[in-house]
Amino acid sequence: MITQLLHRSPVRPARRRSASRRCLVVGAGSAGRTIARDLRRSPEFGLTPVGFLDDRVPRRRRVAGLPVFGSTTDLAELSVGLAIDTIVVAIPSLPAREIRRLTRMAAAENLDVRYLPSFGDALEREARLSDLHHVRLDRLLGRGEQRVVRAASRAALAGKRVLVTGAGGSIGSELCRQIKGLGPLALSLLDHDESNLHRLKMELDGEALLDSDDVIIADIRDQTRIEQVFRERRPEVVFHAAAHKHLPLLERHPCEGVKANVLGTKNLVDAALAAGVERFILISTDKAADPTSVLGATKRVAEMILAAHATDPTRFASVRFGNVLGSRGSFVSVLAEQIETGEPVTVTHPDVTRFFMTVEEAVGLVIEAAVMAEFGDVFVLDMGEPVRIIDLVRNYIRQLHLDVDDVEVRYTGLRPGEKMDEALFSTSEECVPTAHPRIWSARARSEAVDLDGLDSLTSAAIRNEAAEVRGCLAEVVPGYRPCPTAQLEGCLTTYYPDGF
């Protein structure tokens, strides 16, 4: 019976085919017990119930063989401690306002939400898996997700020693999830934040003792430490996702942007060459195309560092894409927090547009691009058409079953370094097709890569000379002009990482 229901379930399949998503069931009543029981009997559905949340059932009581961990007010804390991906709201009689409250709480923690229909509908029959609905990030895009990892990509990582920098971040952790499912010989998780590593390890392995060699605390700015890690772990494939990416912060603190995004990348590239790494993939950004911000300029320098090693044995490539839905501190989490607190939703401009992908979609294509790495290429992911931020806001509000007119939107104006519309290719690049229909190559019209000013740039950053760093960036990156210092005052009053 369950198998038949699964075939016509409207719910999106689990993100990771190799491991179920850990979920909490909200409601320990009959509907919750039925859903928990069926999920445990049906691993192909991709959800593993860990326990219950219920405002009326005592904590620590066991229901259907699973513990009641607490009430719904404990959701944020428990989602971290238990490495939860999804919550299932299994109370058919729950008022719409309570569903909205739970959805907002979950969105603030980047959790998926699935919920049962109204009580009236459920009266006709027993609750079942096909009743679950899903608050979907991809619907905000106005297009469907496309996530297919081809056999050649699997073969390129299967049996390899893989290292991911920034492993605890949004992009890095999704890279680790997908790479683990491809059968690497070893997967090394490198990050400077032990809390992020703990959560990721718990999610990947179901435990996080943090006593294994594959969990590495290291700062990519520490050259000696990075060299040591590469000697000991001997990675064959490296995905470099560690970076400072918050645009307004880097406008105010350009030295830190250079230390992480430029010097950190150089340290990794040098260590990769010394260790004989086969492939090295840099996670870049669309803001590196004709950059107008410190973020974009530092990521463009990182791309140039890889391109300068085009003829070396290690195959280098940068992968450039835009904003990612579902990443930590991104559009959805900020928007959810504003709606939850009743504050106005802040948007920079009514006509501002950005490119968006879901994190799973972007990472799947990054893995595909890794196979094509050859000569310091800059690959650009097909992100569809740019989307107006205000349209994303309205779509999200509707998914929360709120009236768009009831949510105040306040326009704040573009901040220093921001563009009205992003571009994936610079004016000095050609868009060249590749063997993959959703990956393009950004071919520079001039083959020369000039890094003569790199030492001066990193030296100024180490000395924390912000004005000198801005000037050096302008010398290294053709066409980049730093924002006048006077414009930077007050640019942090409204804060988003990617410039919404």
- Band (121; pLDDT cuts 50, 70, 90): very low
Sequence-separated (6 or more) residues with CB below 8 Å from residue 485: 467
Q: Does residue 4 have a pLDDT over 70?
A: no
The pTM score is 0.71
Q: How far is CA 340 from the centre of its chain?
A: 22
Q: How far apart are CA 62 and CA 408, in angstroms?
A: 43
For the residues 285-307, what does the mean pLDDT come to? Answer: 96
Within this chain, do residues 203 and 130 fall inside the same structural domain, yes or no? no
Of the candidates 105, 131, 180, the residue with the CA atom closest to the CA atom of residue 340: 105
pLDDT tens track for 244-294: 999 999 999 999 999 999 999 999 999 999 999 999 999 999 999 999 999
pLDDT tens track for 6-19: 222 233 333 333 45
Minimum mean pLDDT range among 236-240, 389-393, 492-496:
492-496
pLDDT at res. 431: 92
For the residues 174-194, what does the mean pLDDT come to? Answer: 93
List the structure tokens of 76. 């944020």
- Band (329; pLDDT cuts 50, 70, 90): low
Which of 12-16, 125-129, 235-239, 345-349 ranks highest by mean pLDDT? Answer: 235-239
For the residues 189-201, what does the mean pLDDT come to? Answer: 92
- Band (328; pLDDT cuts 50, 70, 90): low
Q: Does any domain span residue 183?
A: yes
Within this chain, do residues 341 and 461 fall inside the same structural domain, yes or no? yes
Q: How many residues does the chain have?
A: 500
Q: Does any domain span residue 144?
A: no
Q: Does any domain span residue 386?
A: yes
pLDDT tens track for 402-436: 788 888 999 989 888 999 988 888 988 999 999 89
Domain ranges, residue 474: 151-488
Q: What letter represents residue 326's amino acid?
A: G
pLDDT at res. 407: 85
- Evaluate whether 100 touches 402 at the Cβ level (below 8 Å): yes
Within this chain, do residues 326 and 432 fall inside the same structural domain, yes or no? yes
Within this chain, do residues 344 and 222 fall inside the same structural domain, yes or no? yes
Sequence-separated (6 or more) residues with CB below 8 Å from residue 286: 320, 321, 322, 355, 380, 383, 422, 423, 424
Between 117 and 170, residue with greater pLDDT: 170
Q: How far is CA 434 from the centre of its chain?
A: 24
The DSSP annotation for 254-317 comes to HHHHIIIIIIHHHHHHHHHHHHT-SEEEEE--GGGSS--SHHHHHHHHHHHHHHTTTTSSSEEE
- Band (47; pLDDT cuts 50, 70, 90): confident
Within this chain, do residues 70 and 111 fall inside the same structural domain, yes or no? yes
**Rounded to whole angstroms, what are the CA distances from 305 to 83, 168, 184, 301, 316?**
36, 24, 27, 6, 10
Per the DSSP assignment, residues forming a β-bridge with 112 are: 86
pLDDT at res. 432: 93
pLDDT at res. 130: 44
What are the strands of the beta sheet with 66-70, ordered from one edge?
A: 62-63, 66-70, 47-53, 21-26, 86-89, 112-115, 133-134
Q: Does any domain span residue 493?
A: no
For the residues 101-117, what does the mean pLDDT come to? Answer: 77
Within this chain, do residues 60 and 175 fall inside the same structural domain, yes or no? no
Within this chain, do residues 471 and 396 fall inside the same structural domain, yes or no? yes
Count up the domains in the chain and report the number. 2
Q: Does residue 498 have a pLDDT over 80?
A: no
List the structure tokens of 383. 């992100």
pLDDT at res. 327: 60
Q: How far apart are CA 490 and CA 48, in angstroms?
A: 46
Q: How far apart are CA 461 and CA 474, in angstroms?
A: 14
For the residues 79-93, what does the mean pLDDT come to? Answer: 86
- Evaluate whether 151 touches 132 at the Cβ level (below 8 Å): no
Per the DSSP assignment, residues forming a β-bridge with 47 are: 21
Backbone phi, psi, residue 452, to 5°: -60, -30
For the residues 380-384, what does the mean pLDDT come to? Answer: 89
pLDDT at res. 493: 40
For the residues 315-325, what does the mean pLDDT come to? Answer: 91
Q: Does any domain span residue 127?
A: yes
Within this chain, do residues 185 and 314 fall inside the same structural domain, yes or no? yes
Q: Does residue 43 have a pLDDT over 80?
A: no
Percent of the chain exceeding pLDDT 70 equals 83
Buried residues in 430-446 as b, exposed as e (16+ CB within 10 A): eeeeeebebbbbbeeee
For the residues 309-322, what does the mean pLDDT come to? Answer: 94
Burial grade of 414 (CB within 10 A; 0-12, 13-18, 19 or more) = middle
Q: What letter represents residue 186's amino acid?
A: A
CATH number of the domain at 97, please: 3.40.50.720
Which residue out of 201, 287, 299, 419 is catalytically annotated?
Answer: 287
Within this chain, do residues 157 and 112 fall inside the same structural domain, yes or no? no
Minimum mean pLDDT range among 35-44, 162-171, 401-410, 489-498:
489-498
Q: Under DSSP, is residue 215 helix (H, G, I), strand (E, B) or coil?
A: strand
Within this chain, do residues 112 and 210 fall inside the same structural domain, yes or no? no
- Evaluate whether 351 touches 388 at the Cβ level (below 8 Å): yes
- Band (146; pLDDT cuts 50, 70, 90): low
Q: Does residue 221 have a pLDDT over 90?
A: yes
Backbone phi, psi, residue 416, to 5°: -50, 135
For the residues 181-186, what does the mean pLDDT come to? Answer: 92
Q: Does any domain span residue 394?
A: yes
Q: Does residue 496 have a pLDDT over 70?
A: no
Concerning whether 419 is annotated as a catalytic residue, the answer is: no
Would you give the DSSP letter of residue 452?
Answer: T
Reported as type and span, the H/E element at residue 115 is strand 112-115
pLDDT at res. 60: 75
Within this chain, do residues 75 and 173 fall inside the same structural domain, yes or no? no
Sequence-separated (6 or more) residues with CB below 8 Å from residue 212: none
pLDDT at res. 181: 86
Within this chain, do residues 378 and 468 fall inside the same structural domain, yes or no? yes
- State which of 109, 135, 161 marks the end of a domain: 135
Tell me the pLDDT of the chain averaged across its residues.
83
For the residues 105-124, what does the mean pLDDT come to? Answer: 63
- Band (481; pLDDT cuts 50, 70, 90): very high
Q: How far apart are CA 80 and CA 182, in angstroms?
A: 26
- Evaluate whether 19 touches 181 at the Cβ level (below 8 Å): yes
pLDDT at res. 19: 59
pLDDT at res. 149: 60
Q: How far apart are CA 86 and CA 88, in angstroms?
A: 7
pLDDT at res. 279: 97
Q: Does any domain span residue 425?
A: yes
Q: Does residue 91 have a pLDDT over 70?
A: yes
Would you give the DSSP letter of residue 130?
Answer: G
Q: What is the radius of gyration, based on Cα positions, of the chain?
A: 23
Q: What letter represents residue 192's amino acid?
A: H
Q: Does any domain span residue 159?
A: yes
Q: Does residue 65 have a pLDDT over 70?
A: yes
Backbone phi, psi, residue 73, to 5°: -70, -15
